[in-house]
């Protein structure tokens, strides 16, 4: 954590400046950022896993602290209202400690509504889950322009954030290596997932999203999250999409493996080469839509190279046939959220920049700014539902159904890295991590 403590002062100063600039522009005296509350299952007293408001944990690594607040004034030092209840039923938060504490005036609260005793005067913007606050603050929750400005600013990461993302990549790469070794030992999806979590001493609730651990044809289910306890009768392929979280920042990594040297392993190698070329496009000033469209060109070339289509790559691209095999976007912003906010934002004051009409699932349409962090995750899948749509149409003859039948039991291939649009050129945090581990 040395890198985090070293870079944190500059980071929190940057976050403070973003907030104070936005407050002055939108004529607010204070922002009150709520960490979030605890939700319960319907008609039950069981709680759901807590997830902190990303706008709250932007300030400090407080991921498991419900009912806390950060007060940012238009001028001056930020204040943290730290919820530490008197509770013998649950483990309560420890006293505030760590490299971040000296940058806040800290008030410890024993009940959530104690914040009202300290509520600031003037025009106050409230940022957070309003339905979870539990009382009327009198603040202004209709502060869209302020929030738009903050979301826009979050795209460019500080050195602290990049250090956290790098460490999350290191943990993710370590766990991916353990998962690959479990696959090679012939483990079930369930046991592979256990090996992944054990490698970073995590539970399912500690990772930033549900791990996708898919053997064989399950690799064609884009968000597959039902790992089977039984081993398949035959091991053909393994696709894993899983990350780790450090100081509130997420990694998001995907790798695909073949059990044997075969046609599918050749396809993985070809996709890996194409993916690296796409990663090299992650530079400041690049329109991210351009990377997505370039991905479709590469998918078209792979479809032709592996005889999956009977038409040319150019024809497959022109007819939209590539979307049958690559139906999602090439990636998204990454940071405090796996799908970090603001990907469709047109300007710092708001507005939308929707994806192209024929690529509706693209999560990011902005021009990349310096130190934006994105995922690059091209894929090629054999999905019955999408393939069946072409039967009885003109495009049916453009598909080599025999080759599709040969490859469909492997599910699909996806390779995903986390890349910084650095001023010095693309910085691939994922490849760095695997290289440092010798994996």
SS3 labels along 253-311: EEEEEECCCCHHHHHHHHHHHHHHHHHCCCCCCCEHHHHHHHHHHHHHHHHHHCCCECC
Residues, the chain? 439
| Per-residue confidence (pLDDT) for residue 439, from 0 to 100 | 78
| Per-residue confidence (pLDDT) for residue 1, from 0 to 100 | 58
Alpha helices per DSSP H over 185-205: 189-199
Phi-psi label, residue 182: left if phi above 0, alpha if psi -120 to 50, beta otherwise: alpha
| Per-residue confidence (pLDDT) for residue 2, from 0 to 100 | 84
Q: How far apart are CA 351 and CA 330, in angstroms?
A: 22
Q: How far apart are CA 337 and CA 77, in angstroms?
A: 26
Residue that the structure tokens 């976050």 belong to: 15
Integer angstrom CA distances of residue 413 from 268, 354, 379, 386: 6, 27, 6, 16
Supply φ then ψ for residue 110, to 5 degrees: -95, -20
**Residue 389: how many CB atoms within 10 A of its CB?**
13
Q: Report the sign of the C-alpha dihedral through residues 352, 356, 360, 362, in that order.
A: negative
| Per-residue confidence (pLDDT) for residue 27, from 0 to 100 | 97
DSSP state of 367: B
| Per-residue confidence (pLDDT) for residue 203, from 0 to 100 | 95
Q: How far apart are CA 384 and CA 399, in angstroms?
A: 13
| Per-residue confidence (pLDDT) for residue 331, from 0 to 100 | 98
Domains along the chain? 2-153 (3.40.350.10), 159-437 (3.90.230.10)
- Whether 250 and 166 have beta carbons less than 8 Å apart is answered as no
Q: Tens of pLDDT along the chain (439 residues)?
A: 589 999 999 999 999 999 999 999 999 999 999 999 999 999 999 999 999 999 999 999 999 999 999 999 999 999 999 999 999 888 899 999 999 999 999 999 999 999 999 999 999 999 999 899 999 999 999 999 999 999 999 999 999 999 999 999 999 999 999 999 999 999 999 999 999 999 999 999 999 999 999 999 999 999 999 999 999 999 999 999 999 999 999 999 999 999 999 999 999 999 999 999 999 999 999 999 999 999 999 999 999 999 999 999 999 999 999 999 999 999 999 999 999 999 999 999 999 999 999 999 999 999 999 999 999 999 999 999 999 999 999 999 999 999 999 999 999 999 999 999 999 999 999 999 999 999 7
């Amino acid at each position: 954590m040395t890198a985090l403590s070293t870079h944190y002062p500059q980071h929190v100063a940057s976050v403070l400046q973003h907030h104070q600039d936005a407050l002055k522009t939108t004529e607010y005296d204070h922002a009150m950022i709520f960490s979030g509350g605890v939700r319960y299952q319907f008609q039950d007293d069981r709680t759901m896993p807590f997830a902190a408001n990303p706008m709250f944990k932007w300030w400090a690594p407080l991921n498991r602290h419900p009912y806390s607040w950060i007060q940012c004034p238009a001028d001056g030092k930020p204040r943290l209202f730290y919820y530490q209840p008197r509770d013998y039923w649950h483990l309560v938060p420890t006293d505030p400690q760590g490299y971040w504490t000296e940058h806040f005036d800290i008030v410890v609260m024993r009940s959530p509504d104690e914040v009202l005793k300290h509520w600031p005067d003037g025009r106050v913007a409230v940022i957070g889950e309003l339905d979870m606050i539990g009382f009327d603050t009198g603040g202004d929750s209709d502060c869209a322009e302020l929030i738009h400005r903050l979301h826009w600013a979050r795209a460019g990461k500080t050195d602290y954030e990049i250090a956290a993302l790098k460490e999350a990549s290191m943990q993710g790469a370590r766990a991916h290596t353990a998962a690959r070794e479990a696959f090679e030992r012939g483990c079930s999806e369930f046991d592979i997932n256990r090996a992944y979590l054990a490698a970073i001493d995590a539970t399912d609730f500690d990772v930033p999203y549900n791990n996708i651990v898919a053997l064989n044809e399950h690799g064609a289910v884009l968000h597959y999250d039902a790992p089977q306890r039984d081993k398949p009768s035959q091991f053909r392929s393994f696709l894993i999409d899983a990350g780790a979280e450090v100081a509130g920042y997420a990694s998001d990594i995907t790798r695909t493996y073949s059990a044997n040297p075969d046609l599918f392993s050749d396809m993985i190698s070809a996709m890996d080469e194409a993916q690296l070329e796409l990663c090299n496009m992650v530079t400041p000033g690049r329109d991210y839509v351009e990377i997505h469209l370039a991905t479709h060109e590469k998918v078209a070339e792979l479809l032709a190279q592996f005889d999956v289509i009977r038409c040319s790559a150019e024809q497959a691209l022109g007819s939209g046939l590539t979307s049958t095999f690559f139906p999602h976007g090439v990636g998204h912003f990454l940071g405090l959220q796996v799908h970090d906010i603001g990907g469709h934002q047109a300007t710092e004051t708001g507005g939308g920049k929707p994806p192209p009409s024929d690529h509706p699932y693209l999560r990011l349409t902005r021009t990349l700014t310096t130190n934006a962090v994105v995922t690059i995750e091209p894929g090629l899948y054999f999905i019955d539902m999408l393939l069946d749509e072409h039967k009885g149409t003109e495009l049916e003859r453009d598909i080599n159904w025999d080759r599709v039948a040969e490859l469909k039991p492997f599910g699909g291939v996806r390779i995903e890295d986390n890349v910084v649009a650095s001023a010095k050129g693309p910085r691939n945090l994922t490849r760095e991590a695997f290289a440092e581990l010798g994996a």
